[in-house]
Amino acid sequence: MVTEADLPAPGERSRMALALAEDVVARALAAGATEAEALVTIQDAALTRFANSEIHQNVAETNIGLNLRFCAGRRIAVASTGRTDDDGLRALVERAAAIARTVEELEDWGGLPGPEGEGPLDGLAAAYSAATVEATPEFRADGARAVIAAADALGVLAYGSFATAREGVAVANSAGIRAFQEQTSSQLLTVHMSPDGGTGYAEAVATDATTIDAAAIGREAAAKARATEHPISLPPGDYPVVLEEYAVLDIADMLGYLGFSALAVQEGRSFAQPGKRIGSDLVTIVDDGADPAGLPMAFDYEGVRKQRVVLVESGVCRDVVYDAQTAARGGRRSTGHGLPAPNPYGPFPMNMLMAAGETPRDHLIAGMERGLLVTRFHYTNPVHPKLAIVTGMTRDGTFLVEDGRIVGPVRNLRYTQSYLDALAGVTAVSRERKTLRGFLGSAVVPALRIESWTFTGATEH
């Protein structure tokens, strides 16, 4: 059995990765780069899968990635490799230099970011869990068995996976950035299916895998699978809704993608404007890489310390996130939200948290005369980015609510809805929140009651 004493100390591998990054930067400068940045990632990932209520696969892998940004004046080239031997590093630098000679200049190139202070930037203790690193196939199998036991108890089948990961990240650049960190994550997700066509979903995400209650996740999904059997059809229209956390995650993710990025603002496609009201007073959203409620990160993939950014405060837009290039364009300092180059998305809020409310989660449907409870969405796509109009489908549990109680399941519905209008219509927010895996990074979200949601189509499934 692996013990903590057998493992490299937190940060040890990242320090080794930092030395590798520094070596690559020196090689790039020697090859003629005017600026250079090296990003090294080392990941140990393991996954236990189950289907038809049986564990059927356990896999593990270790990957190392090296990303070089080679700048020749305003000509910016990016090359990557998985090789760290001398020949591999030499080939990486030669390839990046060749690309830099052929690409067009980036006229408004702002340069690589510099350090905030003396010495390297280290990681956050809250981002690392030795228990997750120590997680064995047997540990994950125990979690899977707890999920399956909950499914067996209600006569449904369980499908899903239990993943654990350890990642070391190091960044060095010619402007003086030196940053390294170790971080861990775990995710248990499951879909349960009943013999009569019901489906239920549940998920948990944590830095420390031992804090995930697998049995509770199994019970949640199994109960939902039974409760969704024999749904009725409901006509499209506008309905009050209670969105569970899995559905709220889609709102947070989509708004982060469409509007909370400085690149979206600079390209004129964002809804975000300082002082603009986009939600009710109950809606506050921040991005905070240091908050242990999510999956903490000390710095971004450019080696810049993450800043706490208030995106929406009591329904009013306050700020957006920046990376080095968008910050240079906007006369700002990067907020530490850069992704690995080349990056078509621009900066992204990877640690969003929506403020909790005062309503117990189980009381959100109270007082709803006639509306819907929605578990989650899928196949969501933007229709009008600037208005944050999105279309998608409900999934794994949509229920009719009458007189403050659930009366039965409803067939899945298609919606076309402005997420800004939805935030403006928030009338209650749950006290409880869930940490979930987002599009990039994590999000911590409550459940919401919203006065109106536009459903535009019905299905037969």
Helix pair angle (12-30, 86-102), 10° resolution: 50
β-strand partners of 48: 58, 162
Dihedral angle of Cα 195, 199, 200, 203, to the nearest 10 degrees: 110
pLDDT at 3 over 70: no
Determine the Cα–Cα distance for residues 336 and 321; give it in Å rounded to an integer: 8
Determine the Cα–Cα distance for residues 323 and 338; give it in Å rounded to an integer: 4
pLDDT at 361 over 60: yes
Per the CB < 8 A criterion, the answer to whether 434 and 362 are in contact is no
Residue range 433-456, pLDDT digits in tens: 999 999 889 999 999 999 999 999
Closest of 160, 164, 204, 162 to residue 185, by C-alpha = 164
**Beta pairing, strands 370-384 & 237-243:** parallel
Residue 80, Cα to own-chain centre: how many angstroms? 23
Residue 408, phi-psi category: left (phi > 0), alpha (psi -120 to 50), beta (remainder):
left
Residue range 83-135, pLDDT digits in tens: 999 999 999 999 999 999 999 999 999 999 999 876 667 778 899 999 999 99
What is the band of 11 on the pLDDT scale with cuts at 50, 70, 90?
low
pLDDT at 5 over 90: no
Domains and CATH numbers, the chain: 4-221 (3.30.2290.10), 231-458 (no CATH)
Could you identify the residue written with the tokens 């564990």?
55
Q: How far apart are the first and last CA of the chain?
A: 47
Could you identify the residue written with the tokens 């006229």?
107
Residue range 322-337, pLDDT digits in tens: 999 999 999 999 999 9
Determine the Cα–Cα distance for residues 116 and 70; give it in Å rounded to an integer: 22
Per the CB < 8 A criterion, the answer to whether 103 and 75 are in contact is yes
Determine the Cα–Cα distance for residues 311 and 324; give it in Å rounded to an integer: 18
- The phi, psi pair for 393, rounded to 5°, reads -130, 150
Residue 403 is classified by DSSP as T
Residue range 265-277, pLDDT digits in tens: 999 999 999 999 9
Residue 2: predicted pLDDT: 42
Determine the Cα–Cα distance for residues 128 and 184; give it in Å rounded to an integer: 5
Residue range 150-184, pLDDT digits in tens: 999 999 999 999 999 999 999 999 999 999 999 99
